[in-house]
């Protein structure tokens, strides 16, 4: 049965993914099941999306109730779930204005437009520059690709949008030397995800922020993967006390419902996008708003942030143990429940072996095993994961 479905998919779907040879059917807690009933421990959570785990009754019931009431109207009208979602998101982020999108990439697009409009209103020029980081990943749309610091993703689709420069993450000098009077924004992930699980350093964050304040440059932080409690704070920048002017969030924001957002300070909102500058058909519709509201409520009710801070040291300890045990692992890096094991060679075979043994993992680049489980994992799940991964590494 599995084989037949996969063959049908290969005939019908565009070949833009190298999918694992499994057809998933349902989930429960931190486990997924394929259509043949095989059980998998999920340490990917839909690429850092399903923070609350699968089949959360309170979350499911909230969505069912909203579906029975109202799913979509468009942004020509107000709707209560979106209003409540914006209020709750402002409270946990410390930002002032919200624009809801359908995805993280669209949030990046909106942030780029806001930054350029801010600069345009300031001096009337149309040649402003954005500084992004090497090895960054911000999405697959043309604007998001333009600020993605990995040439392999961009080359076939060039020319990108212009006036983008790339500095080195955690090297302030490389940022400083690119700044000109045309620079309107500096953008980076607070913790790089696809680029290899690289957290920003506190000193780097502080220096970039000071530079931005000195020259009226906007600091844009991408919290799409590292946000929503994954690092032990609702947003990773809160660990550093370095507040952005614009911030993007998505993935676990809706815990499976496609939704993202870009947020900004009141100062930027008052001096950038206005009526007609930006829009979306689906963004912030009632169903998406209901999902965000319930996710944020459940984070608070279930003490998700505290739980991440309780379980993270145990995960780090166990991953460090694997790094010490196997020469093929150079080390571990990451924050909270966003971790990476850096290996000396490609990790594809290890990940495939783990899948066969009932553990779902994913890579970050060629040589890094990425660990981004649901935020509800317990020590027993960490032990189960490490036991399976230990066996896979031993077989290598």
Structure-block tokens of residue 286? 């009632």
pLDDT band at 176 (very low <50, low <70, confident <90, very high): very high
Does residue 396 register a pLDDT over 90?
no
What percentage of the chain carries pLDDT values higher than 90? 98
For 70-301, give the CATH class: alpha beta
Q: If we measure between CA atoms, which residue out of 333, 336, 341, 148 comes closest to residue 252?
A: 336
pLDDT of residue 348: 95
pTM over 0.85: yes
Does residue 61 register a pLDDT over 90?
yes
pLDDT of residue 384: 98
pLDDT of residue 1: 85
Which residues, 6 or more positions from 264, have their beta carbon under 8 angstroms from its beta carbon? 95, 96, 97, 114, 245, 246, 247, 272
Structure-block tokens of residue 379? 């020590």
Q: What angle do CA 299, 95, 89 make, to 5 degrees?
A: 30
Does residue 197 register a pLDDT over 90?
yes
Q: Are strands 362-363 and 97-101 parallel, antiparallel or unpaired?
A: unpaired
Q: Domain 2-55+303-395, what fold? A: 3.90.1150
DSSP character string of 37-61:
--EEEESSHHHHT-TT-B--HHHHH
pLDDT of residue 347: 96
- State the helix-helix crossing angle for 286-301 and 80-93, rounded to 10 degrees: 40
Whether the CB-CB separation of 273 and 109 falls below 8 Å is answered with: no
pLDDT band at 246 (very low <50, low <70, confident <90, very high): very high
DSSP character string of 69-135:
H-----TTS--HHHHHHHHHHHHHH--SEEEEESSHHHHHHHHHHHHHHHHHHHH--S--EEEEEBT
Does residue 143 register a pLDDT over 90?
yes
pLDDT of residue 235: 98
State mean pLDDT over 111-123: 97
Instruction: State pLDDT tens for residues 5-23.
Output: 999 999 999 999 999 999 9
Domain boundaries, the chain: 2-55+303-395, 70-301
State mean pLDDT over 329-346: 96
pLDDT of residue 173: 98
What percentage of the chain carries pLDDT values higher than 70? 100
Does residue 182 register a pLDDT over 90?
yes
CA distances from 377 to 30, 77, 192, 327, 374 (A): 7, 40, 22, 28, 6
pLDDT of residue 95: 98
Does residue 85 register a pLDDT over 90?
yes
Return the C-alpha torsion angle 119, 122, 126, 130, nearest 10.
-20
């Amino acid at each position: 049965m599995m084989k037949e479905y996969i063959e049908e998919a290969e005939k019908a779907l565009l070949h833009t993914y190298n999918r694992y040879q499994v057809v998933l059917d349902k989930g429960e807690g931190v486990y997924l099941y394929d259509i043949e009933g095989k059980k998998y421990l999920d340490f990917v959570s839909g690429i850092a999306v399903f923070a609350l785990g699968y089949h959360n009754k309170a979350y499911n019931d909230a969505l069912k109730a909203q579906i029975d009431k109202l799913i979509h109207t468009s942004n020509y009208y107000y709707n209560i779930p979106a209003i409540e979602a914006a209020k709750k998101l402002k409270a946990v982020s410390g930002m002032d204005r919200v624009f809801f999108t359908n995805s993280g990439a669209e949030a990046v697009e909106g942030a780029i437009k806001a930054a350029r409009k801010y600069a345009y209103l300031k001096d009337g020029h149309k040649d402003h520059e954005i500084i992004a980081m090497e090895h960054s990943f911000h999405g697959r749309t043309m604007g998001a690709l333009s600020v993605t610091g990995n040439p392999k993703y961009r080359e076939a689709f060039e020319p990108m949008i212009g006036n983008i420069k790339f500095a080195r993450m955690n090297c302030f000098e490389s940022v400083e030397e690119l700044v000109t009077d045309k620079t309107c924004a500096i953008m980076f992930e607070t913790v790089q995800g696809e680029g290899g699980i690289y957290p920003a350093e506190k000193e780097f964050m502080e220096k970039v922020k000071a530079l931005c304040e000195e020259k009226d440059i906007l600091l844009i932080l991408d919290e799409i993967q590292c946000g929503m409690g994954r690092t032990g704070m609702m947003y990773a920048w809160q660990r550093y006390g370095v507040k952005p002017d614009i911030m993007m969030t998505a993935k676990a924001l809706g815990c499976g419902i496609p939704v993202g957002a870009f947020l900004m300070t009141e100062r930027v909102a008052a001096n950038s996008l206005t009526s007609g500058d930006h829009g979306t058909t689906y963004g912030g519709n009632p169903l998406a708003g209901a999902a965000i509201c319930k996710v944020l409520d459940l984070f608070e009710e279930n003490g998700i942030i505290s739980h991440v801070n309780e379980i993270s040291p145990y995960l780090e300890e166990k991953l460090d143990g694997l790094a010490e045990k196997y020469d093929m692992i150079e080390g571990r890096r990451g924050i909270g429940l966003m971790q990476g094991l850096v290996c000396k060679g490609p990790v594809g075979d290890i990940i495939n072996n783990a899948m066969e043994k009932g553990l779902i993992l994913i890579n970050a680049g060629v040589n890094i095993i990425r660990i981004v489980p649901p935020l509800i994992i317990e020590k027993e799940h960490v032990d189960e994961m490490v036991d399976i991964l230990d066996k896979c590494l031993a077989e290598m």
